[in-house]
Homo-oligomer: A and B are copies of this chain.
Amino acid sequence: MANLKYSRQRASIKEYLAGTVEHPTADTVYMHVKEEFPNISLGTVYRNLNLLADIGDAVKITTPDGGDRFDGRTEPHYHVVCCSCGKVEDLEMSSEEIASINNAADSIFDGKVTSHTTLFYGTCKDCLEKEK
């Protein structure tokens, strides 16, 4: 288990994640944090995003297309990817419901199920309106 040492860069990344409802890619995080730390490198952003995800201060969302996305909200929750614009939004499903899906899976599976990730696909409100 590694000993953590404070770093301004990591603090800034964490703060940015906490203050956005977007679900930015590593590159997007990089561009934003760069405003405060012009010399920060993409490698540092990746290292910190992975570190934050490892210690539970962020969530990595694996998506089929393009790069992974990161989320500062750490309680279990779901996401919807808009198939038209690619935006990722939170889906407010109750934690009870999420837990019950885990339990259902565990009771069916011949082994142990401890967690799951779900990614919904659809169309966001904005894109639905544009289609009209």
Query: CB within 8 Å of B: which residues of A?
Result: 60, 62-64, 68, 78, 80, 82-83, 89, 91-93, 97, 101-102, 104-106, 108-125, 127-128
Going nearest first, the 5 A-B pairs with the smallest beta carbon separation are A113-B122, A116-B120, A118-B118, A62-B64, A111-B124
Q: In the assembled complex, how far is the CB of residue A90 from the closest CB belonging to chain B, in whole angstroms?
A: 9
Chain B residue with Cβ nearest A102: B120
By the criterion CB–CB under 8 Å, are B115 and A116 in contact?
no
Query: How far is B50's CA from A64's CA once the two chains are assembled, in angstroms?
Result: 12
What number of copies of this chain does the assembly contain?
2
29 contacts between A and B (CB under 8 A): A60-B64, A62-B64, A78-B105, A80-B105, A80-B113, A91-B113, A92-B108, A93-B104, A93-B108, A97-B104, A101-B118, A102-B120, A106-B122, A109-B122, A110-B124, A111-B122, A111-B124, A111-B125, A111-B127, A112-B123, A112-B128, A113-B120, A113-B121, A113-B122, A115-B120, A115-B121, A116-B119, A116-B120, A117-B121
By the criterion CB–CB under 8 Å, are A108 and B91 in contact?
yes
By the criterion CB–CB under 8 Å, are A111 and B123 in contact?
yes
